[in-house]
Amino acid sequence: MKLLFIGDIVGEPGRRAVKTLLPKLREQLALDFVIANGENSAGGSGITPKTAGEIFSAGVDVITSGDHLWDQKEVLELLANEKRFLRPLNYPADVPGHGSGVFEIKKLKVAVLNAQGRTFMQPPLENPFLLAADEVKKLHEQTKIIFVDFHAEATSEKIAFARILDGQVSAVVGTHTHVQTADEQIFPGGTAYLTDAGFTGPHESVLGREIEPIIKRFLTGMPQRFEVAKNNVQLHGAVIEIDAASGKAIKIQRVSENL
């Protein structure tokens, strides 16, 4: 099977890129399943039922999130009612929503797990290394195809997290930094890995935001409004080919498409 993961969708430009480009990519790449990180889809910070609806309507099967989960109060509605929307697994058990899910597509079951790192990340959450190992064992009872979005800052934490899961999951792809890395590979146990998928949105920017206010902030230290930028919109992510019988990755390839 072929799975596409789309890196952090930023604001209206990112949503527009998904709506415009994903139908073509589904056909060209013969995709079976699409996952996207949508935590920045609402005005560049957070997600709402409306922006999630746009992303689902464009052809995304599951939306993951990260440290901007709570930036829009409407997210509580999503967490309560939408099983295709995941929050990081390592929140306390009584927090609304789910950190993983199993979804059926073309008679195949695909598990998606969302976890958040702790190094340089806020808020500080439970240890994802311990929680993910137990969760993966539970997911294995339903399917061998398991995709992990690890939302984290430190590259060392991302690599170590993926290494500990090598052979247990089909893929671990990192999000959060908005910078696509060039280290795609398949580990010895059959797990595909990419440190960061990049972001989907305006790339004539600083991580999706207008350039000048951010430069001014660095120069003066004064507060600024960081509006979502507009130009050079791209869709970033990775396509992973998985052997459905074993759950092992066969191939991983970065995606970078201009709108």
Cα atoms in the 13 Å half-sphere on the side-chain side of 121: 27
Q: Is 176 an annotated catalytic residue?
A: no
For CA atoms 74, 80, 82, 86, the dihedral sign is positive
Contact between residue 194 and residue 174 where contact means Cβ atoms under 8 Å apart: yes
- Among the listed residues 68, 151, 176, 236, the single catalytic one is 68
Enter the tokens of residue 115.
Answer: 């976890």
Burial class (CB in 10 A: 0-12, 13-18, 19+), 45: middle
Q: Which residues are catalytic?
A: 68
